[in-house]
């Protein structure tokens, strides 16, 4: 069954996963799904209190974590993800949230993108995307939900900017870069050869004043996201949709 996806860890074992979510019902459903998909769910937690101990004992490959959890139900997951990043740098952390909050994504990646991901919970219905994201973060890569990238792109293209000079294909490539896909991944998504993808990426780097002309996927994600965020925050008429505002107005 699990042959559909490559779910092995770097040492060839099946990936081990810890689930942290205060909704027992969702945890149960997700655990069932991951188990069926061939992952090993080694622990399920209702909050982040016991997480460091569990991490030290079980040493999982990936932690899947909700954002709003007890005690304050605000952004416990983001803070916990940063804590894991510091203390367990080799463990991939995929944050699963009900909302596509660009602000949470920005804070999550504030100190680097490697091994971090932010995905909408809706992706439980999109098993390939979910599994691919889990795999990417476990391998030290980055996974940003297409919803967030699309949102940032939409906002960025609404105003005159250097983005106007990108061709539609280049825009698609930029979005996938922001989601954290490698050149190969982008090529697979767009049905393009890696050479064509590389040409698009070179063209994007020529047209946009991105901070790093870095080809390493993780830093490239950061550069693109930072650029898109910056474009967004320049928007004079702030008509940010609810999901964006909430991150800024609620503590």
Partner 1 sequence: MTALARRDRLDSKAIVLGVLIVAAKVVVTLPQLRTDLALVAITWVVVISFVVVGVALLSTEDIADANGWNCLVVAAATLPGDLNNAHFPPSVAAVGFVLEPTYLAAAVALVLRYPRARLNRRGRFITAGLVITSVVWRIPLVFFAGDLPSPFHDATVLPNVEAAPWWFDWVWLRAGYLGTIMLLIGAAGLLVIRAVTSRGLIRTSLAPLAIVGAVCALSAAADNLIWVLGIPGPQFEPIALIRNFSAAAIPVALLGDLIRRRGASAAISSHVLQAARSGDVLSLEGALRDVLLDRTLTVRPTSDLTPQSPAAGDKGGPRRSVTVTSAYARTPLVVIEFDVRSVTDEALLRTVLAAVQVGLDNTQLTQELLQRMTELEASRARIVQAGAQERRKVERDLHDGAQQQFLAVAATLAKSDFVSDQELRDVVQNARVGLSDALAELRQLARGIHPAALSQGGLSAALPYLCDQSPLHITLHIDDSVRGRSIAPAVETAMYFIAAESLANAARHAPDSEVVINLTSDQARVNIEISDHGRGGARFAEHGGLVGLRDRAEALDGELDVHSDPCPEHPDDAGSRVSASFPIDGRTV
Draw the binding track, 181-220, toward partner 1 (x: CB under 8 A; -: no contact). ----------------------------------------
Binding residue for partner 1 (CB under 8 A) from 98, 184, 211, 215? 98
Give the CB-side neighbour count of residue 72, counting CA atoms within 13 A. Answer: 9
CA–CA gap between residue 42 and residue 56 (Å, rounded): 13
DSSP, res 8? B
When asked if residue 241 is in the footprint of partner 1 (CB under 8 A), the reply is: no
Q: Which residue has the tokens 């916990």?
A: 80
When asked if residue 37 is in the footprint of partner 1 (CB under 8 A), the reply is: yes
CA–CA gap between residue 60 and residue 170 (Å, rounded): 37
CA–CA gap between residue 116 and residue 18 (Å, rounded): 15
Return left, alpha or beta for 116; rule: phi > 0 is left, psi -120 to 50 is alpha, else beta. Answer: beta
DSSP, res 15? P
**CB nearer partner 1, residue 36 or residue 110:** 36
Draw the binding track, 101-140, toward partner 1 (x: CB under 8 A; -: no contact). --------------------xx-xx-x-------------
Binding residue for partner 1 (CB under 8 A) from 12, 25, 53, 160? 25
When asked if residue 28 is in the footprint of partner 1 (CB under 8 A), the reply is: yes
Give the CB-side neighbour count of residue 4, counting CA atoms within 13 A. Answer: 12
Helix, strand, or coil here: 119?
strand
**CB nearer partner 1, residue 2 or residue 203:** 2
Binding residue for partner 1 (CB under 8 A) from 9, 22, 49, 150? 22
**CB nearer partner 1, residue 43 or residue 113:** 43
Least distance CB 179 / partner 1 (angstroms): 20
C-alpha torsion angle, residues 192, 196, 200, 201 (rounded to 10) = 100
Residues that bind partner 1 in the complex, under the rule CB under 8 A: 1-2, 4, 22-23, 25-26, 28-30, 32-33, 36-38, 68, 73, 98, 121-122, 124-125, 127
């Amino acid at each position: 069954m699990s042959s559909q996806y490559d779910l092995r860890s770097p040492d060839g074992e099946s990936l081990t996963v810890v689930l942290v979510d205060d909704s027992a019902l969702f945890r149960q459903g997700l655990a069932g799904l991951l188990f069926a998909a061939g992952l090993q769910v080694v622990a399920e937690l209702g909050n982040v209190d016991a997480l460091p101990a569990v991490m030290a004992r079980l040493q999982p490959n990936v932690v899947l974590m909700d954002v709003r959890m007890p005690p304050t139900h605000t952004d416990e997951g983001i803070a916990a993800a940063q804590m894991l990043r510091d203390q367990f740098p080799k463990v991939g952390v995929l944050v699963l949230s009900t909302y596509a909050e660009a602000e949470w994504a920005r804070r999550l990646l504030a100190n680097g993108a490697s091994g971090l991901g932010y995905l909408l919970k809706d992706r439980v219905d999109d098993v390939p995307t979910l599994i691919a994201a889990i795999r990417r973060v476990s391998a030290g890569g980055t996974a940003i939900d297409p919803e967030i990238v699309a949102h940032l792109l939409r906002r960025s293209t609404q105003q005159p900017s250097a983005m106007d000079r990108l061709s539609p294909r280049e825009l698609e490539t930029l979005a996938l870069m922001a989601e954290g896909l490698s050149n190969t991944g982008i090529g697979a998504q767009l049905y393009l050869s890696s050479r064509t993808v590389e040409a698009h990426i070179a063209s994007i780097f020529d047209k946009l004043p991105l901070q790093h002309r870095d080809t390493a996927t993780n830093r490239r994600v950061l550069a693109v996201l930072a650029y898109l965020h910056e474009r967004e925050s320049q928007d004079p008429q702030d008509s940010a949709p609810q999901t964006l505002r909430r991150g800024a107005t609620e503590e």
